[in-house]
Amino acid sequence: MTQKIPNIREQSVEDLTNYFISKGEKKFRAAQVYEWIWQKNARSFEAMSNLSKELRSSLANDFSFPAIQVDTTQYSADGTVKSRFRTYDNHLIEGVLIPTEDRKTACVSSQIGCSLSCKFCATGYMDRKRNLHFDEIVDQVTLINEQSERIHNQRLSNIVFMGMGEPLLNYAQVLKAIERITSPEALGMSARRITVSTAGVAKMIQKLGDDQVRFKLALSLHAANDEKRNKIMPINETNNIKVLIDSLNYFYRKTKNEITLEYILFKDLNDGQKDADELVKIYRQVPADLVNIIEYNPIDFFKFEKPEEDAVQKFMQYLGSKNVNAKLRRSRGKDIDAACGQLANKDQ
C-alpha cells in the first residue's frame, strides 16, 4: 500500500525542522520554508528562490503542494471580480472580490458543490464533491487579496464565507483556515473582519459558541415561518426556526459576537406585511445586530422573481417603523453571475 505524500502546508515549524535535520540541513531552513508558505504565499516549491535547486527538488519529492490556481477571471461593470479556481484534483470553485469605497471584501467557498439544496441558490443544484481543505480556503483569500492589491492598491479588509458550500458542514477545516488567516505568521487579519454564513446547522452553531470563536456569524433565514422556509430551504425540516433561535442565543451568550440575519426578498413569497411582521418577531428573539435585506438574483433553476421596488421600500419602511436595524443590500456582480446565490461554475 503506497503511503500518501504529506502536504507541506500541514507541517509545523517543528515538523520542518526535524525534516531538515534528517536531511543534514541547517535548522533555519524550516523558518525559510514556513515563511515562503505563509507570509510570501508561495504556491509551489519552485517559487522558493532562496533555496538551492537540490533542496527544492528534495522537498518536491518528499511533500505535496496542492495549491489552487486561478482558472478564469471575470470583471463586472460595477468593479466586482469573480474568479474560478481550479483545485489540484481538477475541481472548480468560485470566489469573489467585492470592492466598495470603504471595504474590499473576499467572498470565499468552503465546499465543492453543496448538499443542502436551497432552492434559490445555484450551488444548491450541484452535487457536493468534497469539502475544501483549510489551505485551499486560505489560497482563495490570498489570491483575492493579490487581486485587491493589484487593482485597488489595498489589502482585503473583510472576508465572508458566503461562497459555494455550507461552512459549518466543513467545520474543522473552516476553523483551521480562519486560524491561519488571522495568524500574525500569515495574513494577520482580525477575526472581527470575518463573517461565517450558515443556512442553519443548529448543533454546529452551538459548537461555535463552545469553541469561543471570535468571528461574526450570519444566518441565512430568508423566510420567517417554518412552512415557507421548508419550501425553499430543506434544512429547515431538521433545523427549524425555534431551534435556530435557541442556538443563536446560545452562541451569543458564549461569545458576544455580532450576529446578522440574511433575508432575500422573493416576490409573492416572503415580501408581504405578514412576512415582515414575522421577521420582526424573530429579530426580537435573537441578539442580532443587523438584518440584511437582499435583492434576489435570478438563477436558471428557480422561477421566483424579485419584488417591485415599491414593495421592497414598503417592506423596509415597515421594519424601520418597528425599530429593526435593517439594511437593503443591492446586488453586486450580477452581470457576471457573481451575485448572492449565483455561484455555480456556469461555464464549465
What would the pLDDT profile of 90-109 be if each residue is shown by its tens digit? 999 999 999 999 999 999 99
CB-side neighbour CA atoms (13 Å) of 210: 7
pLDDT at 46 over 50: yes
> In angstroms, rounded to a whole number, what is the distance separating the alpha carbons of residues 112 and 169?
12
CB 265 within 8 A of CB 307: yes
Please classify residue 105 by burial: count the beta carbons closer than 10 Å to its beta carbon, then call 0-12 exposed, 13-18 middle and 19+ buried: buried
Burial 231-246 (b: 16+ CB within 10 A, else e): ebbbbbeebbbeebbe
pLDDT at 300 over 80: no
pLDDT at 257 over 80: yes
pLDDT at 74 over 80: yes
CB 124 within 8 A of CB 130: no
pLDDT (average), residues 17-22: 96
Is 340 noted as a catalytic residue in this protein? yes
Query: Which of 2-11, 89-98, 169-178, 269-278 has the lowest average pLDDT?
Result: 2-11
Is 121 noted as a catalytic residue in this protein? no
pLDDT (average), residues 329-348: 55
CB 259 within 8 A of CB 219: yes
| Each residue's pLDDT tens digit, 310-330 | 999 999 999 999 999 999 987
Q: What is the pLDDT of residue 340?
A: 52
Q: What is the pLDDT of residue 330?
A: 77
pLDDT at 348 over 50: no
| Each residue's pLDDT tens digit, 186-235 | 899 999 999 999 999 999 999 999 999 999 999 999 999 999 999 999 99
CB-side neighbour CA atoms (13 Å) of 83: 25
Q: What is the pLDDT of residue 303?
A: 75
What size, in residues, is the chain?
348
CA pseudo-torsion sign 299, 300, 302, 308: positive
Q: What is the pLDDT of residue 331?
A: 67
If pLDDT is split at 50, 70 and 90, which confidence band does 115 have? confident
Q: What is the pLDDT of residue 127?
A: 77
pLDDT at 346 over 70: no
Which has the higher per-residue pLDDT, 301 or 21? 21
If pLDDT is split at 50, 70 and 90, which confidence band does 18 have? very high
Whole-model pTM over 0.85: yes
> In angstroms, rounded to a whole number, what is the distance separating the alpha carbons of residues 80 and 140?
15
Q: Which three cell numbers stand for residue 199?
A: 443556512
Residue from 114, 118, 121, 340 carrying the catalytic annotation: 340
| Each residue's pLDDT tens digit, 25-44 | 999 999 999 999 999 999 99
Q: Give CB contacts under 8 A, 24+ apart, made by 224-230.
A: 224/263, 224/270, 224/275, 224/278, 224/279, 224/281, 224/282, 225/278, 228/269, 228/270, 228/275
Q: What is the pLDDT of residue 126?
A: 79
pLDDT (average), residues 131-137: 97
Least Cα distance to 144 among 183, 101, 93 occurs for 93
Residue from 35, 94, 121, 136 carrying the catalytic annotation: 94
Q: What is the pLDDT of residue 341?
A: 45
Q: Who's near 165: CB < 8 A, 6+ residues apart? A: 109, 110, 111, 112, 113, 114, 123, 128, 131, 132
Q: What is the pLDDT of residue 347?
A: 45
Average pLDDT, the chain: 92
